[in-house]
Structure 1
Amino acid sequence: MSDENIKRVKPIRKQMEYRNICFRITQLKNGNWKAVAGGVFVIAHTELDAIYYIKAEIDAELNLRRKWHQIL
């Protein structure tokens, strides 16, 4: 099978920002959505769920950083 016969479809990608942290939303081949921010990613059934979950992960990380700064 040659490369000419393979149809390549680019996935849907969106770049977004939340609290000065950029994250990327991508639709997977199976229809799910993946959100990636730094080394953290979430997979959800809908785009809105992926955005919600990655924002929750960003909030948790920022809260953890804030607590460490208070200790130091």
Structure 2
Amino acid sequence: MTISMQPGGIVIGALPLILGLFILSKGLGLETTVGRVVQEMRENADAAMFSSLLWASTVFSAIFAVAEG
């Protein structure tokens, strides 16, 4: 038996794992926790974007300072 390396074969092969993880998470009651985490991520998206821009400008400034000598 060979495993097909085509995308469709990988997706079909992963379906039992995905379904099992879904059923396990439903059984453990993780749905409300995941929902709360997603909501918090949406609320903090603006702050995260601003933080990412600050980090990017810091890295750019450091590279520019090293390049200038």
Q: TM-score range by the shorter chain?
A: 0.3 to 0.5
Q: If you compute each CA radius of gyration, which structure gives the higher value, 1 or 2?
A: 2
- TM-score computed with the length of structure 2 as normaliser: 0.38
Which is richer in helix?
2
